[in-house]
Amino acid sequence: MKNWLYIAIGVVIALIIILWPKREVCYPAGVPESYHAELDKALAESGRDKELCEFLTQLPETQQRDAAYLLTNMYVEDLKNMDLALLAENLEYAALAREKYSWAQALPEDVYLQDVLPHHVVDEVRDAWRKELYEMFSPAVDTCKTMYDAICAVNANIPRLTGVDYNTKREKTNQSPRESMRQGMASCTGLAILLVDAYRAVGIPARFAGTASWHDNRGNHSWTEVWLDGEWRVTEYYFPSQLDHLWFMADASKAKADDRTYAIYATRFGKADDWFPMVWADEGEDSAVEDLPKFVGAENVTQRYIDLAYDQYTRHLEAGTHTFLRIAGYKETGKTEHSDDRVAMGVDVFRGTEQMGGGLTAGELRDMNDLFAVLLPKNTEYELRYYTAAGELKTMKVALGEEPVTVEIFQK
């Protein structure tokens, strides 16, 4: 009797195995075998495997590998909810830029996949930016012969073409390109996202970088890196050609690689050994950095910034002979809280009759942390010279001691 029971149980199990609905594998011709296992896993996790398989199969064969790369590396929420028409447009225009521009054709495969192809930068709203930005910036780069020329062309034209400027009155921090262009304004984070996407739209590898906080706890900052001649270089929204020479380099030299709050990170699409601290996602506003969302991959690049800053600033500071005089320019006395209170004013710095430096204070379109700064010998008195809106020459004496000094000047 027991034997018949065992046989019956075995038959039932066999029937269940035979009749149980199986998920079809999805290996279109353009998807390399090396992707198959991870693609199976991603499709199963998506909860929409038939829909995604059909999407993959209907793509041009030349785009199927790229689509498989995105699907196997994107975040679970994107897998479950991604607008496939948007994803198809992203794939089409990424391929178009790569075919069109010599610098994109010459990219190593891993750089193209990681830093040109992705459909987003951090946690911004997923919108259809690639076609729009390709059509916007391709005329500016079509005559460029090198990637460096194209980088400069994008930077030089982006405020004019997008109509977006820095403004603290923007709706939110992590704006998508369309959100920023709709308002005509963005934070440093929104500007960095927009610049990354503008580069990627014309086949230039780019990624998002930033710190959760500067060393003196005055807040976070975000900027952009571009890949050029095998190296990651530093740039920002308003700097056409000043790669690696940005206003925040002195602050970057004081970053701490072993402290997530004060370290510098660059984003990495897909699987990564570390994560980017998105401080704008802190709903409680006072939460610890370790409690922030961890789904955006990143690389700790702090040491590279410390090394970059060494020749620009650190060697003088280490010698103990110099410190910073920082100057902020405002339109009128008593109004210093918002970005549009600021104004670009020409100011010269003298020691006696010797001019020690000069330039423009940061105007209303620049980051609030961005102050015109001059590295000067310590324990010396300096004179600032500048003109008011009425054309009157003003002077200000500033005694610079051992520590950095920040002063305010006013247009009226």
Are 294 and 348 members of one domain?
Answer: no
Are 46 and 153 members of one domain?
Answer: no
What's the predicted TM-score (pTM) here?
0.81
> Do the domain assignments include residue 325?
yes
Are 119 and 235 members of one domain?
Answer: yes
For residues 58 and 356, what is the distance between their CA atoms, to the nearest angstrom? 65
> Do the domain assignments include residue 403?
yes
For residues 6 and 205, what is the distance between their CA atoms, to the nearest angstrom? 62
Are 50 and 130 members of one domain?
Answer: no
How high is the pLDDT of residue 112? Answer: 98
Are 258 and 295 members of one domain?
Answer: yes
Q: Of the residues 265, 284, 311, which one is the last residue of a structural domain?
A: 311
Strands 322-330 and 380-387: unpaired
Q: Are 280 and 189 a contacting pair, CB within 8 Å?
A: yes
How high is the pLDDT of residue 283? Answer: 62
**Positive or negative torsion for Cα 252, 256, 262, 264:** positive
> Do the domain assignments include residue 101?
no
Are 377 and 286 members of one domain?
Answer: no
Domains held by the chain: number: 3
CATH label of the domain that carries residue 360: 2.60.40.10
Q: Of the residues 82, 97, 117, which one is the last residue of a structural domain?
A: 82
Are 192 and 298 members of one domain?
Answer: yes
> Do the domain assignments include residue 17?
no
Are 53 and 182 members of one domain?
Answer: no
> Do the domain assignments include residue 9?
no
Rg (CA), the chain: 26
How high is the pLDDT of residue 369? Answer: 82
Which residues have a Cβ under 8 Å from the Cβ of 247 and sit 6 or more positions away?
Answer: 362, 370, 371, 373
> Do the domain assignments include residue 330?
yes
How high is the pLDDT of residue 235? Answer: 94
The residue range of the domain holding 51 is 23-82
For residues 344 and 103, what is the distance between their CA atoms, to the nearest angstrom? 36
Are 143 and 219 members of one domain?
Answer: yes
How high is the pLDDT of residue 20? Answer: 46
Q: How does pLDDT run across 237-279, given as a tens digit for each residue?
A: 887 777 998 878 888 988 999 999 999 999 999 889 999 999 9
> Do the domain assignments include residue 381?
yes
Are 182 and 203 members of one domain?
Answer: yes
CATH label of the domain that carries residue 273: 3.10.620
* Cβ neighbours, 10 Å, residue 375: 17
Strands 354-360 and 346-351: antiparallel
Point out the residues of the chain with pLDDT beneath 50.
15, 17, 19-23
- The DSSP code for 212 is S
How high is the pLDDT of residue 162? Answer: 97
Q: What are phi and psi of 361, to 5 degrees?
A: -70, 160
Are 152 and 229 members of one domain?
Answer: yes
What sections of 202-268 are H helices per DSSP? 249-252
> Do the domain assignments include residue 92?
no
Place of tokens 């198809």: 88
Are 143 and 60 members of one domain?
Answer: no
